[in-house]
Amino acid sequence: MTETARGLGEFDFAGDDHVVPFHVEGLDVRGRAVQLGPMLDAILERHNYPLPVARLVAETVVLTVLLGTSLKFEGKLIVQTQGDGPVDLVVADFSTPDRVRAYARYSQEALAAAEQDGRTEPHELLGKGVLAFTIDQGAHMQRYQGIVELDGATLEDIAGAYFRQSEQIPTKVRLGVAELLDRDEDGKPRHRWRAGGMVAQFLPDAPERMRQPDLPGGDGDEGEAIHLFEEDDLWSEAKVMVETIDTDELTDPTVGTERLLYRLFHERGVRVYQPQAVFDRCSCSREKIRGVLAGLDRDDIENSIEDGVIKVTCEFCSTTYRFEASEVRSQ
């Protein structure tokens, strides 16, 4: 992100797969917004997920992109859900400065039963469990991890709870996913995915203005102080504005990220910064897979050999790496 803010008309619109940082000085709000198109489509197409799973992965990718592009150091953000629902695992990670990848693990039988019962909302697919945000700054730095309970809330609400619990920053998140059906250049039917999102944070100069009501302590503990607490007026106004965004605005390419920001905040003086491109790029490699195989014991190596070779497929990008048995045994 550059340090110089610009007006909305001072450079070209960012378009798809570009995160747009913004600042609303009149509300003491900073944030990022994005629309994902071809990048997201490529991730979902290679896995051919059922529609409910694809939507869940898309939401997770948007959230990961919005948070990952805020990293100010070389490293990786990993967003991972683990639950007892039909989709028991979703992982998306962002490696600085611009690489994104994701995959999901699900039970076909449990998913079919959920679809038959009409239980296909993200929180129903995930079930009870946890959402973990992990920041990895490399081999010589300690990992940081924040964990939030999957309690039936939306990913938007869970992400907001994470910021409130881990960073004490008032935060509002909006996520949207759309399935598009159109025709390609030859007139053939074509299916595409789009998604969009926004994260807005209240960052006033006076820290006391960021104060928020305490989280309930559990067992029905919702004390009077929680209900009597009054949050800052500017943050209340900003939240109301962000809550007016609907899925169509987040995903419609004719609206665009900057137009949406202008619609929401122009009366308060919104500024946008240089957009940051993000790409569907996996970090796997033959050398990395070879290193993993080198860490296996002899029995595991022998059990993995079929017809004289070991084949390892990356769960993220579906690339298959082939190793001759003699090559692995000699390590």
Write down the pTM of the prediction.
Answer: 0.87
On whether residue 11 sits in a domain, the answer given is: no
163 and 236 within one domain: yes
Q: Are strands 320-324 and 309-313 parallel, antiparallel or unpaired?
A: antiparallel
CATH number at residue 290: 3.90.1280.10
State residue 330's pLDDT score: 67
Cβ contact 56:47 at 8 Å: no
CA distance 89 to 78: 13
Look up residue 305 and give its two tokens: 């050999």
Instruction: Print the domain residue range for 313.
Output: 286-329
pLDDT given at position 10 = 47
In this structure, the answer to whether residues 66 and 181 fall within a common structural domain is: yes
Residue 299: pLDDT band with limits 50, 70, 90: confident
pLDDT of residue 9: 45
Is residue 268 within 8 Å of 24, Cβ to Cβ?
A: yes
Q: How far apart are CA 105 and CA 91, in angstroms?
A: 9
Residue 5 lies in a domain: no
State what percent of residues in the chain have pLDDT above 70: 90
Structure confidence by residue, pLDDT tens digits, 223-268: 444 455 678 899 999 999 999 999 999 999 888 899 999 999 999 9
* 266 and 209 inside one domain: yes
Record the tokens describing residue 44, joined without a space: 């979902």
Locate 267 and state its tokens. Answer: 């009366």
DSSP 8-state secondary structure symbol assigned to residue 164: I
In the numeric block, which tokens belong to residue 276?
């940051």
The pLDDT confidence band at residue 4, using thresholds 50, 70 and 90, is low
183 and 292 belong to one structural domain = no
**Same structural domain for residues 232 and 293?**
no
With the C-alpha atoms ordered 289, 294, 296, 301, is the resulting torsion angle positive or negative?
positive
* Residue 240: predicted pLDDT: 95
Residues 275 and 296 in one domain: no
CA atoms within 13 A on the CB side of 28: 17
pLDDT in tens, 176-219: 999 888 777 788 877 889 999 999 999 988 777 777 665 555 55
Q: What is the pLDDT of residue 187?
A: 81
Q: Is residue 9 part of a domain?
A: no
- Strand ordering across the sheet containing 144-150: 144-150, 129-136, 76-83, 87-95, 99-106, 279-280
> What is the CATH classification number for the domain harbouring 195?
3.55.30.10
For residues 234 and 181, membership in a common domain is answered with yes
* Judgement on whether residues 314 and 232 belong to the same structural domain of the protein: no
End-to-end CA gap in the chain? 44
Do 99 and 199 sit in the same domain of this protein?
yes
Assigned domain for 12 exists: no
pLDDT at residue 118, as a whole number: 93
* 8 is a domain residue: no
Q: Worst-scoring range by mean pLDDT, 53-62, 72-81, 288-297?
A: 288-297
Separation CA 261–CA 63 (nearest Å): 18
- Do 43 and 138 lie in one domain? The reply is yes
Dist. CA 151–CA 67, nearest whole Å: 21
Q: Mind listing the pLDDT tens digit for each residue in 87-144?
A: 999 999 999 999 999 999 999 999 999 999 999 998 899 999 999 999 988 766 778 8
**Is the CB of residue 181 less than 8 Å from the CB of residue 201?**
no
181 & 36 share domain: yes
The total of structural domains in the chain comes to 2
Look at residue 294 and tell me whether its pLDDT is greater than 90: no
In the predicted structure, residue 81 carries a pLDDT above the cut 70: yes
Q: Tell me the average pLDDT of the chain.
A: 87
Same domain assignment for residues 54 and 115: yes
The number of beta carbons lying within 10 Å of the beta carbon of residue 272 is 22
pLDDT in tens, 6-50: 444 444 577 899 999 999 999 999 999 999 999 999 999 999 999
